[in-house]
Structure 1
Amino acid sequence: MNDPIASNNDILVVDDDSGLLQLMSMRLKALGYASRLVESGEEALREIRRKQPILVISDLKMDGMDGIQLLEHIQRDWPGTPVIMLTAHGSISEAVVATQKGAFAFLTKPVDREELRTTIEKALVGHSANESAANVFQSIVTRSAKLYQLLEQAKMVAQSDVNVLIQGESGTGKEVLAQAIHDASPRRDKPFIPINCGAIPDELMESELFGHKKGSFTGAVRDHVGLFETADGGTVFLDEIGDMPMHLQVKLLRVLQERKIKPIGSTTYIDVDIRILSATHKDLLNMIEEQTFREDLYYRLNVVNLVLPPLRERREDIPLLLSHFLERVAQRYGQSCKRIAPDALDALISYSWPGNIRELINLSEKCHALNAGAVISRQLIEQALPRFQREQNQEMTLSEAKRIFEKEYVEKLLSMTNGNIPEAARMADRNRSDFYKIVKKHSIDPELYKVGQ
């Protein structure tokens, strides 16, 4: 007997019939699996919270929480855990409903040993693939419910081989998502080739994509392998697909239909096995109406559509992302990571971020380069974001201007002195007690400015 997949983990069995639980335990043990046995849906949830199993096998009909309700809880809180339903012959229609709601499969009682084995193995193979995909997508920094939902879709799409069109504003991370889809797919060990259709001159694009033969045009002094052939077995990411010239759109459509390419100057076709992921910030439907983008190509590319939200629609991610980028910059230069003052963070959260994540990365680079202290102030943020001041529409009173100046002045002194209040007070020509009152008035935490804290 082969070792079962992930045999070091256990299967949770849920049934209010203690006799059936013991029978399932013996069957699973004979198949090489460990098991935990519970007699209700409520008890099952407590067990999953204590230790997540690799698989749940649950009776459909139970007193209290039934199998469908248990399934809904598992899908909501542990979406990667497969669930197999057990049902009597009289409840098969309800078991079908359970599979439509997300159960992996259902088995009828009495459970056939061989059917149990094969169903578990299939469920765990799918679970292993889902876990691999989950690890890839978990590296994308977010706490946004909107983005979580999109990443769940991307995770499912990664396991198939369909073409995907990723849409979103410039700087939202379309290539990052495309790379994640490739890394979580069965093609992960083959090349991922990103191609920016807007960055390659029209006259060179055909040669870059399809390759050319020596002597096929002036300057073709040797054979050139195109990017489609280079990506054979892997994934091609066509960024800014809306910038592709019409005559090349026709050739791309042929690649998608026939899975063949013909280099410039060649008389023979070359078979290629590639998956196409594409992206754009343009309105392709509008381009179709204007006859600048082929409708047939659009539907070939847009089998699945994923739309990345702009940063202003996921503001809860701004502190998380900025911290991540600042830490990355600090590691690159071998320096300590800078922290951001609370009012500076408030400013960032209120900002509209027209450049999205790309603009936030640029800001983290600027702040690290321009700030000698340990804390990034609001003043520095405003200097680093030229558009920020234009978004501040309200006129400032003199008292407000004085308050802001005083606060920024104190923050600068604390930054210069690494949070040393007596030293900062001396530089401000104030006694320690008065200076501390000013610090407290502006809700400034001196600890934030101490290097190494």
Structure 2
Amino acid sequence: METPRILIADDDKKTRDFVAAFLSYKGYQVFQAFDGQDALQKVELSDVQMVITDIMMPRVNGLEFIKQLKSIRPEIVTIAYSAFANHEMTANLLKAGAFFYLEKPFNLEELETHVKRGLEHQVLQSKSFRSKPCIKNRALLNNIIGESEKMLSLFELIEKVASSDSTVLIQGESGTGKELVARAIHDLSNRNSKNFVAVNCAAIPDELLESELFGHVKGSFTGAVATRIGRFEMADKGTLFLDEIGDMKANLQVKLLRVLQNRELEPVGATRSKKVDVRIIAATNQNLDQMVVSKQFREDLYYRLSVIPIVLPPLREREADIALLLNSFLEKFNRSKQRKVQGFDKQVMDILTNYEWPGNVRELENLVERLVIIKGSGTLTLSDLPEKYRGGKSSPVRTEQVTLPEDGFCLNSAVEEFENRLILQALEKSGGNKKEAAELLNLKRTTLIEKLKKKKLVYGEQFSP
């Protein structure tokens, strides 16, 4: 196995030599640079897998160095350190692409732990970076984690789509990262200096959504004590992301269609229209094709929205990405929760890789957060996993055998009754906590609340079919 190559960048020779001596002793091949500019030149000459850099350096500081490095060699993993950090600096470093941040003085054993994890991360992604040079803007796609063929194809599509102003419809199961894709399209577009405005159409009551989108004038309805601009105007010259578009009511679908056709809107209570220049990106976890057939969604609006359709793959079709996601979220929550969990043992990694993840990336991220908080330190083993994950593949919901009566029965009513019972069982198990109940059902909290409103279900009351 080839010896990993690491570059140390620090204008303080004493610190640089100290770190280099320790890593050399641990068996790594180490190079040194005296500042960011020198480090960039050394990266071009040496095929390094990792750079460990100080932040406060002359000529090119650590933050700027990481930004430039990610633009030319995004596959190189970076670890940053400084004695003068604050929350804002740390956030900027991680946003720029740093794998981890350490405060000086740091423990050498802790450094070695993050070096090992960083090199594991680098191995998982380096092959795909070398084989897919056509993806030019990986630094701006860092928030979307994945190296499988399906994800690499998605990255290429995002780059192609971003340069146009065409409307995009993102479809995929809940938890697949639809908003992340929408943000990436915005960040890569020529509108990236303007606002990216996100609206969850399912989370806003129907009677308020029109005002939220289009704004209103003072006195247009009870409670309209002042004129207010809507989300469309907030996103003028930028991008408006309409999440859960499938939940939008028919009357608002008509008004949205008009905005898409005429590029103008009419605030609630206004007598004049306003011109807007907004790129629309819509998303849904529902099957809009079927909704069009069943007349639940306007066909003309559907074709306006799906000029460029993007379908996100569920996590069960991205098995090659699961280890990468697990390690990435582990580092994230170790930082944010101030824990020191070192990793997953092989048995746990095998189980989680083979699990079907009905809640997709959101479920995986929530699980890692829970494990990191509870474990605190050490290696995650089988006993740390919740019971539902220990069997590998996710188990389907077990239902009682139903015999069809001779005279038949109403399927819709039976499905409705079954769904109601599951929702109430989830609320019972969570003690009425809607967030936890939604997680048990692999739903968004807002989606569960909307279902409770529509079904008029109340936790604590006996349900009768």
TM-score by length of 1: 0.57
Which position in structure 2 is the counterpart of 1:31? none
- 2-side partners of 1:149 and 1:181: how far apart? 14
Q: Shift of residue 350 of structure 1?
A: 1.2
Work out the percentage of aligned pairs sharing the same amino acid.
49
Q: Matches of 2:296 and 2:159 in 1, distance apart? A: 32
Change (3 A) 1:306 1:288: same
Equivalent of 1:163, from 167, 172, 184? Answer: 167
Task: Tell me, in whole angstroms, the C-alpha distance in 2 between the residues paired with 1:228 and 1:390.
Answer: 41
Superposed displacement of residue 207, structure 1: 0.4
Structure 1 contact 172–311 (Cα < 8 Å) conserved: yes
Cα distance in 1 for residues equivalent to 2:158 and 2:393? 37
User: Which amino acid letter does the alignment assign opposite residue 318 of structure 2?
Assistant: R
Amino acid at match of 1:234: G
Find the partner of 1:292 among 270, 292, 296: 296
The residue correspondences of 1:220-235 to structure 2 (distance < 5 A) are 220-235=224-239
Q: CA RMSD in A?
A: 2.6
Decide which of 245, 251, 264 is 2:268's aligned counterpart. Answer: 264
Specify the alignment match of 2:395 in structure 1. Answer: 391
Q: Secondary structure at the match of 1:325?
A: helix
Distance 1:167-1:390 versus aligned 2 partners, 3 A rule = closer
- Which of 210, 213, 216 is residue 209 of structure 1 equivalent to? 213
Change (3 A) 1:210 1:345: same
2:222 to 196, 218, 237: 218
Distance of 2:223 and 2:214 partners within structure 1: 16
Q: Which amino acid counterpart does residue 271 of structure 2 have in structure 1?
A: T
What is residue 378 of structure 1 aligned with on the other side?
382
**1:282-361 aligned within 5 A:** 282-361=286-365
1:356-384 residue CA offsets vs partner (Å, 9 max, x unmatched): 00000100111012214411112222337
Q: Is the 8 A contact 1:242 1:293 kept in 2?
A: yes
2:150 matched residue in structure 1? 146
Please give the alpha-carbon distance, in whole angstroms, between the structure 2 residues aligned to 1:362 and 1:78: 30
Would you say the 8 A contact 1:137–1:155 is kept in 2? no
Structure 1 residues 373 and 330: alpha-carbon distance in aligned structure 2, compared to 1, 3 A threshold: closer
Task: For residue 340 of structure 2, give the secondary structure of its aligned residue in structure 1.
Answer: coil
Distance across 1 between alignment mates of 2:336 and 2:138? 27
User: Is the 1:382–1:388 Cα contact (8 Å) retained in structure 2?
Assistant: no
Q: Distance in 1 between matches of 2:377 and 2:295?
A: 55
Following TM superposition, by how much is the alpha carbon of 1:143 offset from its aligned partner in structure 2, in angstroms? Answer: 1.4
Q: Which among 182, 190, 193 is matched to residue 194 of structure 2?
A: 190
* 1:139 CA drift (Å): 4.4
Please name the residue that 1:364 is paired with: 368
Q: CA deviation at 1:79?
A: 4.4
Deviations 1:83-112 (A, max 9, x none): xxxxxxxxxxxxxxxxxxxxxxxxxxxxxx
CA contact (8 A) 2:242 2:283 kept: yes
User: Deviation digits for residues 403-437 of structure 1, max 9, x if unmatched?
Assistant: xxxxxxxxxxxxxxxxxxxxxxxxxxxxxxxxxxx
Q: Could you tell me whether the CA contact under 8 Å between 2:170 and 2:281 is conserved in 1?
A: yes
* Aligned counterparts of 1:367 and 1:346: Cα–Cα separation in 2: 16
SS in 2 for 1:374: strand
SS, match of residue 386 in structure 2? helix
State the partner residue of 2:460.
Answer: none
Moved over 6 A (4+): none
Q: Which ranges in structure 2 are unaligned for 5 or more consecutive residues? A: 1-129, 398-465
Counterpart residue identity of residue 210, structure 1:
F
Any idea what the Cα deviations from partners look like across 1:115-134, whole Å, max 9, x if unmatched?
xxxxxxxxxxxxxxx84x44
Q: How does 1:23-62 map to 2 (within 5 A)?
A: none
Residue range with higher mean Cα deviation, 253-262 or 336-345: 336-345
Question: CA separation in 2, counterparts of 1:341 and 1:305?
Answer: 39
Deviations 1:23-74 (A, max 9, x none): xxxxxxxxxxxxxxxxxxxxxxxxxxxxxxxxxxxxxxxxxxxxxxxxxxxx
Gaps of 5+ in 1: 1-75, 81-129, 394-453
Deviation at 1:389, TM superposition (A): 8.1
| Contact 1:134-1:155 at 8 Å conserved across structures | no
Query: Shift of the alpha carbon at 1:77?
Result: 4.7
Tell me, what secondary structure is at the counterpart of 2:351?
Answer: helix
Local SS of the residue matching 1:199: coil
Closer/same/farther in 2, CA of residues 362 and 138 from structure 1, 3 Å limit: closer
CA drift of 1:137 comes to: 2.2
The code of the aligned residue for 1:320 comes to L
Q: Residues 344 and 376 of structure 1 are in contact (CA less than 8 Å); yes or no, is this contact kept in structure 2? A: yes
Q: Contact conserved, 2:176 with 2:362, CA < 8 A, in 1?
A: yes
The answer to whether the 8 Å contact 1:260/1:269 transfers is yes
Q: CA deviation at 1:335?
A: 3.0
Larger Rg: 1
Match of 1:252 in 2: 256
Given that 2:340 and 2:376 are in contact with CA atoms closer than 8 Å, whether structure 1 keeps it comes out as no
Report the AA paired with residue 340 of structure 2: S
Do the aligned partners of residues 387 and 257 (structure 1) sit closer, same or farther apart at CA in structure 2, a change above 3 Å counting?
A: farther
Structure 1 contact 382–389 (Cα < 8 Å) conserved: no
Conservation of the 8 A alpha-carbon contact between 1:168 and 1:281: yes
